[in-house]
A and B are shown apart, each in its own frame.
Chain A
Amino acid sequence: MRVVEALLASLVILIAITFINVFAVTPLSPTYEVSELEKVGYNVLHDLDEQGLLCRFVYNKEWGNLTAALMASLPPDVYFDLTVHYLNDTVVNEGLPIRYGDANIFETSGSAASVSYIVPGYKADYEPKILVLQLVRE
Chain B
Amino acid sequence: MRMRRLGKQERGQFIVIAALMVAIMIVSIGAIMYGAVTYFKYERWEEYLAIIDNVKLGSQRVVEMSLASYTLTSNNETLKNNLDQWRCNITKAYPGFGVILTYSNASGSHYAYGVNMKYSSGLASYWYNRTSFSAANATFTLNITSVGLTGYEFNAFAFLRTRILDVVWSSRDKALTIRLTVEREGLTPITNLKKSNFQVNVAGYASANFSLARYYNVTYGFFLYEIELQSISREPQGVTVTVVDTRGVKVIAGSGVTGVLPRVPAVIGYRSSTGTYGLSSPKVRTWNGTVWLSERELPSAGSPVRFVRAAYCPLAARYYEKIVVTLSEDGYLDAYVWNDTAWIVTNNIGLTATSTPSSRMFDIEYEKTSGEALLVYSKGYRIWNGSAWSGETLYNITSPPTDVRWIALAQNPTSGSDKIALIALDKSKLVYGLIWNGSQFSGLKLLGTAPSETKECIAVAYESTSGYATFVWAGADRYSYSRQWNGSAWDALPTRINLNGGTTLDVWLSLKADPVSDKLMLLDVDDAEDLNTAYWNGSSWTVTLDHDTAVDTKASRCADLGWEPSGSKVLMVWGTSTSKLSYKTWTPSGGWSSENTITKEIAGTHPWVQLRRNSLSTVPTKILGATLDSNVDLGSLRWDGTTLTSTAGAFTTDTGVTSYECFEVEFQKFASPT
Docked CA distance A116–B48 (Å): 12
- CB contacts (< 8 Å) of B50 on chain A: these are 38-39, 42, 46, 115
Q: Is the interface of A mostly helix, strand, loop or mixed?
A: helix
Stretch of A49-57, A67-75, A103-111 contacting B (4+ beta carbons < 8 Å): A49-57
Stretch of B12-20, B194-202, B572-580 contacting A (4+ beta carbons < 8 Å): B12-20
B57 and A123 within 8 A (CB): no
Docked CA distance A128–B87 (Å): 11
Chain A 26-53, CB-CB to B under 8 Å as 1, else 0, gives: 0000010001001100100010011010
A12 and B57 in contact (CB under 8 A), knowing A39-B46, A115-B50, A124-B69?
Answer: no
Interface residues on A, range: 35 or more
A50 and B57 within 8 A (CB): yes
B338 at the A interface (CB under 8 A):
no
- CB contacts (< 8 Å) of A39 on chain B: these are 46, 50
B12 and A16 within 8 A (CB): no
A124 and B16 in contact (CB under 8 A), knowing A50-B57, A87-B89?
Answer: no
Nearest CB in chain B to that of A130: its residue: B93
Q: How many positions in chain B have a CB within 8 Å of any CB in the partner chain?
A: 50
- CB contacts (< 8 Å) of A8 on chain B: these are 16, 19
- CB contacts (< 8 Å) of A12 on chain B: these are 16, 19-20, 22-23
The total of Cβ contacts below 8 Å across the A-B interface reads: 123
A31 and B41 within 8 A (CB): yes
Docked CA distance A10–B65 (Å): 68
- CB contacts (< 8 Å) of B92 on chain A: these are 87
- CB contacts (< 8 Å) of A123 on chain B: these are 65, 68, 247-248
Q: How far is the CB of A5 from chain B (nearest CB, A)?
A: 4
- List B85-106 residues whose CB lies under 8 Å from chain A: 85-86, 89-90, 92-94
- CB contacts (< 8 Å) of B90 on chain A: these are 118
- CB contacts (< 8 Å) of B280 on chain A: these are none
Chain B 18-41, CB-CB to A under 8 Å as 1, else 0, gives: 111011101101110110011001
A49 and B57 within 8 A (CB): yes
Docked CA distance A55–B30 (Å): 46
- CB contacts (< 8 Å) of A35 on chain B: these are 41, 44, 46
Docked CA distance A87–B62 (Å): 16
B16 and A126 within 8 A (CB): no
A128 and B246 within 8 A (CB): no
A119 at the B interface (CB under 8 A):
yes
A117 and B23 in contact (CB under 8 A), knowing A1-B12, A123-B65?
Answer: no
- CB contacts (< 8 Å) of A128 on chain B: these are 85-86, 89, 93
Chain A 86-116, CB-CB to B under 8 Å as 1, else 0, gives: 0100000000000000000000000000011
Nearest CB in chain A to that of B70: its residue: A124
Q: How far is the CB of A53 from chain B (nearest CB, A)?
A: 11
Nearest CB in chain B to that of A22: its residue: B30
Which of B19, B47, B69, B248 has the largest count of A CB atoms less than 10 A from its CB?
Answer: B19
29 A-B pairs within 8 Å (CB atoms) are namely A6-B15, A9-B15, A9-B19, A12-B16, A13-B22, A16-B23, A16-B24, A17-B26, A19-B30, A20-B26, A20-B29, A23-B30, A24-B34, A25-B38, A35-B46, A39-B46, A46-B53, A46-B54, A49-B57, A55-B61, A87-B89, A87-B93, A116-B93, A118-B58, A118-B93, A120-B89, A126-B82, A128-B89, A128-B93
| Residues of B near any A CB (own CB < 8 A) | 8-9, 12-13, 15-16, 18-20, 22-24, 26-27, 29-31, 33-34, 37-38, 41, 44, 46-47, 50, 53-54, 57-58, 61-62, 65-66, 68-69, 72-73, 81-82, 85-86, 89-90, 92-94, 246-248
